Structure 1
Amino acid sequence: MFFRGCVLVYRRILVTTDGSDGSLDAVDHARVLAEKFDAELYILYVVDVSAGPQSISDVVVESLREIGFKVTKEIQEELEDEGIQADAFVEYGSPGETILDFADERGVDLIIMSSHGRTGIDRFLLGSVTEKVIRNSKMPVLTVKYQD
């Protein structure tokens, strides 16, 4: 076994959320690491405007935006009550690409996100944002598998 002497320090951590229980599990992991490393924590909700019909109605986009702001604000307030510096963001676009762009622009050291554990035809048809991020990320990605 070789030890290369690298020291892992995370200064900026990105955690993604869609408001699901699985993404809240990822937030729990982000909370622990942000506290341990005294890191800045970014909470990101992506309004997926790439799926569905060519143009998603403004009403649907607005509804998703409101959900995103509500979810990220609740998480931010809970974390800040615990003394963890957190910033909440809602972005628009294709989730995988938007997450990677966001991480690059802010110099994120670690991305934390949930995996819903889909398999078989569900995974093939629905795709996996987490898988796309893992495959294309320049920085480490910690995945938290959702346990029902």
Structure 2
Amino acid sequence: MYDSVLIPTDGSKAATAAVYEGIELAAQNQATVHALYVVEPIPLGGFTSGPAPASSEWDDVVDEQRAEGDEAATEVVEAAESFDLEVVEAVEYGKPAGVILEYADEHDIDAIVMGTHGRSGVDRVVIGSVTETVVRRSQVPVLVVRTDGEGD
């Protein structure tokens, strides 16, 4: 039924919970797992006041985000490989919801498995904005995974 399962991750607790659900779904169908991390186009950390940072400082932030992405995607890869599943790893740049939807379309993804919210959505009560956008706009089924104790 599912030949390819996309697991977008940002390394957050909610995303990590979704990783195992996604891998389980893929294992039941012997599907290929696509591990995707999206680096935001605007650096999110470190520079909250004062003069604009130098170009090299922005480069450092982007490099740090890329390293975080590689680490988060590698976690998915390692978990999927432990089930002897084929894995495709990708780190992309852009707005997360749009990139996830584009990736799903371009790679003929059959299902998307993601957490209710990631790092930027921790304060959201029900569902994160990235997840909500993906659920509303996806052409394929989206399995949304809650973390333990969420919504209590």
Report if TM-score (shorter chain) is over 0.5: yes
Report the TM range for the smaller structure's normalisation. Answer: 0.7 to 0.9
Equivalence for 1:130: 131
Structure 2 gaps, min length 5: 48-54
Q: TM-score, normalised by structure 1?
A: 0.81
Supply the distance in 2 between the matched residues of 1:93 and 1:77 (Cα, whole angstroms): 25
Q: Does 1:21 align with 2:1?
A: no
State the percentage of identical aligned residues.
40
* TM-score using structure 2 length: 0.79
Q: Is contact 2:117–2:130 with CA below 8 Å preserved after alignment?
A: no
Q: Distance in 2 between matches of 1:90 and 1:66?
A: 10
Task: Decide whether the 8 Å contact of 1:50 with 1:94 is kept in 2.
Answer: no
Are 2:80 and 1:79 equivalent residues in the alignment? Answer: yes
2:148 alignment partner AA: Q
For the 8 Å contact 1:116–1:146, the answer to whether it is kept is no
**SS at 1:36 equivalent:** helix
- 1:49 pairs with one of 25, 41, 50: 41
Mapped partners of 1:123, 1:99: distance in 2:
20
SS in 2 for 1:57: helix
**Residue deviations 1:117-140 (CA, integer Å, cap 9, x gap):** 9xxxx449xx61000111111111
Do structure 1's residue 98 and structure 2's residue 99 form an aligned pair? yes
1:48 partner letter: E
Distance 2:3 2:147 in 1: 25
| Stretches (4+) displaced over 6 A | none
Structure 1 spans left out of the alignment, 5+ residues: 1-8
Residue matched to 1:68: 69
Question: For the aligned residues, what is the CA RMSD?
Answer: 2.3
Whole-angstrom distance in 1 between the partners of 2:38 and 2:112:
14
